[in-house]
Amino acid sequence: MKPTTVTIAQELGLSRSTVSMALRDHPAIKSETKRRVLEVARRLNYVPNDIARAMTEGRTRVVGVLCHHLGVQTNNRFFTEAAEQFEAADYFIKYLSCAWDFDVDVVTNRCVRQNLCAVIGLHVNEKHLFALTDRLGEHGIPLAVVSRLFSDPRVLAIGSDDADGVKQIMDHLTYLGHQRIGCIAGAANSSACMNRLECYRQYMAKHQLPTHDQHAAISDYSPEHVSNLARVMLSNPTQRPTAIFCTNDSMALAVIGAARRLGLRVPEDLSVVGFSNLNFASFTDPPLTTVKQPFEQVAIEMTERVLGVVRQQAGDFSKANPGQLLLKPELIVRQSTAAAS
DSSP string, 110-154: HHHHTT-SEEEEES--GGGHHHHHHHHHTTT--EEEE-SS---TT
Q: What is the pTM of this model?
A: 0.79
Q: Is residue 249 part of a domain?
A: yes
Same domain, 276 and 168: yes
* pLDDT at position 22: 85
C-alpha to C-alpha distance for 266 and 242, rounded to whole angstroms: 10
* pLDDT at position 49: 59
Q: Is residue 274 part of a domain?
A: yes
Same domain, 288 and 317: no
User: Looking at per-residue confidence, does 327 or 189 come out higher?
Assistant: 327
* pLDDT at position 212: 85
pLDDT one-digit tens code per residue, 248-266:
999 999 999 999 999 999 9
* pLDDT at position 55: 46
Domain count for the chain: 3
β pairing state of 62-67 and 118-122: parallel
C-alpha to C-alpha distance for 84 and 77, rounded to whole angstroms: 11
Same domain, 286 and 306: no
Q: Is residue 72 part of a domain?
A: yes
Same domain, 189 and 282: yes
Mention every residue, 6+ apart, whose C-beta is less than 8 A from residue 73: 276, 278, 279
Q: Is residue 332 part of a domain?
A: no
* pLDDT at position 51: 47
**CATH code: domain of residue 96:** 3.40.50.2300
- For residues 311-322, give the mean pLDDT: 80
Angle CA 289–295–299, to nearest 5: 170
Same domain, 202 and 185: yes
Radius of gyration, alpha carbons of the chain? 25
Q: Is residue 57 part of a domain?
A: no
pLDDT class of 164 with cuts at 50, 70, 90: very high
Q: For residue 329, is it left (φ>0), alpha (ψ between -120 and 50) or beta?
A: beta
Q: What is the DSSP string of 183-220?
A: EEE--TT-HHHHHHHHHHHHHHHHTT----GGGEEE--
Question: Most distant CA pair in the chain: distance in Å?
Answer: 87
* pLDDT at position 302: 94
pLDDT one-digit tens code per residue, 191-237:
888 999 999 999 999 999 998 888 999 998 899 999 999 999 999 88
**pLDDT of residue 62 exceeding 60:** yes
User: Looking at per-residue confidence, does 315 or 94 come out higher?
Assistant: 94
**pLDDT of residue 58 exceeding 80:** no
Same domain, 102 and 167: no
- For residues 265-290, give the mean pLDDT: 96
Same domain, 317 and 281: no
Q: Are 246 and 221 in contact (CB under 8 A)?
A: no
* 320 three-class SS: coil
pLDDT one-digit tens code per residue, 80-118:
999 999 998 889 999 999 998 999 999 999 999 888 999
Cis before 286? omega within 30? yes
Q: Which of 273, 215, 278 is nearest to 247 (CA)?
A: 273
**pLDDT of residue 42 exceeding 60:** yes
**pLDDT of residue 53 exceeding 60:** no
Q: Is residue 177 part of a domain?
A: yes
* pLDDT at position 66: 95
Compute the mean pLDDT over every residue in the chain, rounded to the nearest whole number. Answer: 90
Q: Is residue 79 part of a domain?
A: yes
- For residues 304-321, give the mean pLDDT: 85
Same domain, 153 and 174: no
Same domain, 177 and 151: no
Same domain, 140 and 166: no
Q: Which of 156, 116, 155 is nearest to 139 (CA)?
A: 116
Same domain, 237 and 184: yes
- For residues 254-280, give the mean pLDDT: 96
**CATH code: domain of residue 30:** 1.10.260.40
Quick one: CA dihedral 216, 217, 222, 224, positive or negative? negative
Same domain, 187 and 270: yes
* pLDDT at position 312: 85
**pLDDT of residue 57 exceeding 70:** no
Quick count: other Cβ atoms within 10 Å of Cβ 213?
6
Q: What is the dihedral of CA 215, 220, 221, 222, to 10 degrees?
A: -110
Backbone angles phi, psi at 181, to 5 degrees: -115, 125
Q: Is residue 336 part of a domain?
A: no
Mention every residue, 6+ apart, whose C-beta is less than 8 A from residue 15: 9
Tell me the residue range of the domain where 99 lies: 62-160+295-327
What residue type is 76 in one-letter code? N
